[in-house]
């Protein structure tokens, strides 16, 4: 087997971010070097506590967690507690944090981990991409140490937080604009893809059948998340967005991709935060800047997620 991929995850846990973290720490193909947190599904303070509790649940106490942005580059703090609950991770009880949050901030931790790595580091962003944009703005030299940026956000079709804008991109469109203009390899995992990653009753049953706390907790997260998605968007089963970014790093065949020019709307009164994905090269003067996720092998995806959760849960 080739060596594990060095990875940092910038997230706003968040029920689906939580499953993404479990997928990462439960997969031998991934070498998780750091977790950084951002506002989004909840306040950054709640997201930070949640991240430490999730890693504690997974028995992982040696991956640093650093607190990041409390709001977007423009200072605005759009929160998604309407989906994830007051704590940002409502539902099952979580263990008390087993380790302290890093003293340094998210941008500094990202910079230090990337610059000290002996090989390029992949950056996965599953919340508003503010920390990653700030890193690129403040420390442009780190680009040489970044293998790629893969982010959950945007959509080739409709949005969720607004009719046209997906939550992460709506929460900080200027930040996504910075990333899209960075010249780095960027992969976009949008709602068009993640709405294929539904936690159906069969998926939840597989989680609930695991005879350990990690599996039971994951099933309970899907219960809360599913109720929210049914109330707000009338889904019968919740789309578990964020682990799709990690699954793509584990198995290159789990998602099909299409190269395209992607822009994010910054000014539209009704469309701010919308990703404009030029799948048919209609903007002849624009060069493709992104690989866009198009089709998910849902069976393979859920096998990867379930196997990782079970691996984590069975660790002594
Ligand atoms: O729109 C879905 C995205 O917004 C997911 O990353 C979810 O966790 C929230 O951050
Ligand atoms: Ca998220």
pLDDT digits (tens, 9 = 90+) for 131-164: 999 999 999 999 999 999 999 999 999 999 999 9
pTM: 0.98
Instruction: Answer yes or no: is pLDDT of 2 > 80.
Output: no
Domains of the chain in start order, with CATH, are 5-313 (3.90.245.10)
Order across the sheet with 290-296: list the strands.
65-67, 30-37, 5-11, 121-125, 146-152, 186-189, 290-296, 255-264, 275-278
Calculate the average pLDDT of the chain.
98
Instruction: Answer yes or no: is pLDDT of 43 > 70.
Output: yes
Query: What confidence tier does 1 reach under pLDDT thresholds 50, 70, 90?
Result: low
Q: How far is the CA of 37 from the centre of ligand 2 (A)?
A: 10
The residues lining ligand 1, judged by C-beta closer than 6 Å to any ligand atom, are 12, 14, 16-17, 40-41, 80, 126-127, 152, 160, 166-168, 241-242
Q: Range with the lowest mean pLDDT among 1-15, 20-34, 105-119, 164-178?
A: 1-15
Q: How far is the CA of 127 from the centre of ligand 1 (A)?
A: 6
Active-site residue list: 241
Q: What is the pLDDT of residue 62?
A: 98
Q: Which ligand is nearest to the CA of 11?
A: 2
For a mutational test of ligand 1's pocket, the pick from 11, 13, 14, i.e. the residue with the most ligand atoms closer than 8 A to its C-beta, is: 14
Query: What confidence tier does 310 reach under pLDDT thresholds 50, 70, 90?
Result: very high
233's CB contacts (< 8 A; 6+ apart) are: 160
Mean local confidence (pLDDT), 267-274: 98
């Amino acid at each position: 087997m080739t060596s594990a991929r060095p990875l940092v995850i910038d997230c706003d846990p968040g029920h689906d971010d939580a499953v993404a973290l479990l997928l990462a720490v439960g997969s031998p193909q991934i070498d998780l070097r750091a977790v950084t947190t951002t506002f989004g599904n909840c306040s950054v303070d709640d997201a930070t506590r949640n991240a430490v509790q999730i890693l504690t649940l997974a028995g992982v106490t040696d991956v640093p967690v650093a607190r990041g942005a409390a709001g977007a580059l423009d200072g605005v703090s759009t929160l998604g507690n309407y989906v994830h609950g007051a704590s940002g991770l409502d539902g099952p009880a979580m263990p008390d944090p087993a380790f302290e949050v890093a003293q340094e901030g998210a941008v500094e931790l990202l910079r230090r981990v990337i610059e000290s790595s002996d090989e390029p580091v992949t950056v996965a962003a599953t919340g508003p991409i503010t920390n990653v944009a700030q890193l690129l703005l403040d420390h442009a030299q780190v680009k040489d140490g970044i293998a790629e940026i893969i982010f959950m956000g945007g959509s080739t079709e409709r949005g969720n937080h607004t009719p046209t804008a997906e939550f992460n991109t709506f929460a900080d469109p200027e930040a996504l604009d910075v990333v899209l203009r960075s010249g780095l390899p960027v992969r976009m995992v949008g709602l068009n893809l993640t709405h294929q990653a539904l936690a159906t009753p069969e998926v939840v049953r597989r989680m609930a059948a695991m005879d350990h706390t990690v599996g039971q907790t994951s099933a309970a997260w899907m219960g809360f998340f599913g109720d929210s998605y049914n109330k707000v968007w009338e889904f019968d089963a919740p789309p578990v967005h964020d682990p799709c970014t990690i699954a793509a790093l584990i198995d290159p065949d789990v998602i099909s991709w299409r190269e395209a020019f992607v822009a994010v709307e910054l000014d539209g009164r009704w469309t701010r935060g919308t990703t404009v994905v030029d799948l048919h090269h209609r903007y002849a003067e624009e060069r493709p800047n992104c690989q866009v996720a198009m089709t998910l092998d849902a069976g393979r995806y859920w096998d990867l997620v379930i196997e990782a959760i079970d691996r984590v849960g069975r660790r002594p």
